[in-house]
């Protein structure tokens, strides 16, 4: 899978402790922003999915911390689709600091859920089509 996206996120003061180090619980928020922008870059938004009766909750999250992110740093979050989605969609992430050091890697799995039935569903065709077009 080659579908990748990169975004920059500046670490805000409220995301850090008194030593200026990003609290570990803030990393999932960075991943969410990156994943949302990955979808937006594809031409899909959470709003559009919800209007079409689809929810996309996270069902698995794994983060490997390597170095600390610091206050006011601009982090580069690279997001990559792992494989074509079925009922689930999986992403791999890398977070890099301004020095070009890998500070964290992560993986999330989300499930496509029908909002009416609250049951898993296949990835909507309009999303699969957009992914296929981006692969060309």
Enzyme catalytic residues: 17
Would you tell me the crossing angle of helices 125-135 and 27-42 to the nearest 10 degrees? Answer: 80
* H or E segment and range at residue 129: helix 125-135
Taking alpha carbons only, the member of 126, 124, 98 closest to residue 111 is 124
Contact 90, 107 (CB under 8 A): yes
Cα gap 47→50, rounded to integer Å: 5
For residue 65, give Cα distances in angstroms to 6, 42, 82, 130: 19, 28, 20, 32
Q: In DSSP terms, which residues pair with 89 in a beta bridge?
A: 110
């Amino acid at each position: 899978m080659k579908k990748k996206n990169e975004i920059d996120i500046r670490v805000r003061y409220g995301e850090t402790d008194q030593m200026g180090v990003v609290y570990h619980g803030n990393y999932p928020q960075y991943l969410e922003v990156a994943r949302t922008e990955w979808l937006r870059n594809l031409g899909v938004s959470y709003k559009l999915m919800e209007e079409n009766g689809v929810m996309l909750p996270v069902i698995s999250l794994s983060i490997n911390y390597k170095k600390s992110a610091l206050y006011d740093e601009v982090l580069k979050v690279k997001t990559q689709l792992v494989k074509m989605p079925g009922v689930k969609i999986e992403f791999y992430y890398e977070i890099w600091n301004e020095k070009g050091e890998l500070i964290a890697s992560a993986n999330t799995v989300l499930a496509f859920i029908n909002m009416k039935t609250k049951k898993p569903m296949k990835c909507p065709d309009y999303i699969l089509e957009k992914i296929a077009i981006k692969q060309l």
